Amino acid sequence: MISPIQALSTPLAPSAAKGTASAGSAKFTTVFETALRQAEELKFSAHARQRLEERGIELEEAELAQIREAMESLEAKGARSSLLVLERVALVLNVPKRTVITAMATGETGQNVFTNIDSAVVAFAATTRQTENQRPAPDWGGLRAADRPTRHTVQETTL
């Protein structure tokens, strides 16, 4: 037979109840913060890890920062599945799960078709971009691009 429910013989003291509540809220806060960190963490699928290993690609901290930054930007725009092209590597991302699905060297992307993506990001490190002054000058009959006359150039002539 089932015994009836009985009341506690001694009620909990107020100090004991407060200690339990604060310990419970501290535990909740810890669990909540851990969940937030995990949600913000960048994950790599087994397939992506395998592709990176096969292709000998080791992501540097700067590239990981670029991936995180792109992921945040894509989340803000509501993207779900995206192609991210960095200088050395191209990645397919599952944005809501913050997961890299696959990876390949940028040189391999020329002959691939990417399907089931809703967005693309091309991100190169600012330090590796060539500015106009760093690019080699095209050869126009021995003149550098900066020395090449334009139709707006006024030439002095003597009469």
Residue 70 lies in a domain: yes
Burial status of residue 68 (CB atoms within 10 A of its CB: 0-12, 13-18, 19 or more): middle
Residue 66 lies in a domain: yes
d(CA 83, CA 103): 10
Claim to verify: residue 54 and residue 117 sit in the same structural domain = yes
Claim to verify: residue 53 and residue 115 sit in the same structural domain = yes
Residue 92 lies in a domain: yes
In one letter, which amino acid is 27? K
Residue 130 lies in a domain: no
d(CA 64, CA 67): 5
- The pLDDT value recorded for residue 89 is 92
- Domains contained in the chain, number: 2
- Say if residues 99 and 38 touch (Cβ distance below 8 Å): no
In one letter, which amino acid is 59? L
- The pLDDT value recorded for residue 101 is 95
- The pLDDT value recorded for residue 115 is 87
Taking Cα atoms as reference points, which of 102, 63, 60 lies closest to residue 81? 102
Domain with 27 in it: 14-41
pLDDT in tens, the chain (159 residues): 566 666 555 655 555 445 555 666 778 787 767 666 655 688 999 999 999 999 999 999 999 999 999 999 999 999 999 999 999 999 999 999 999 999 998 877 667 788 899 999 998 765 544 555 555 655 555 555 565 555 555 555 555
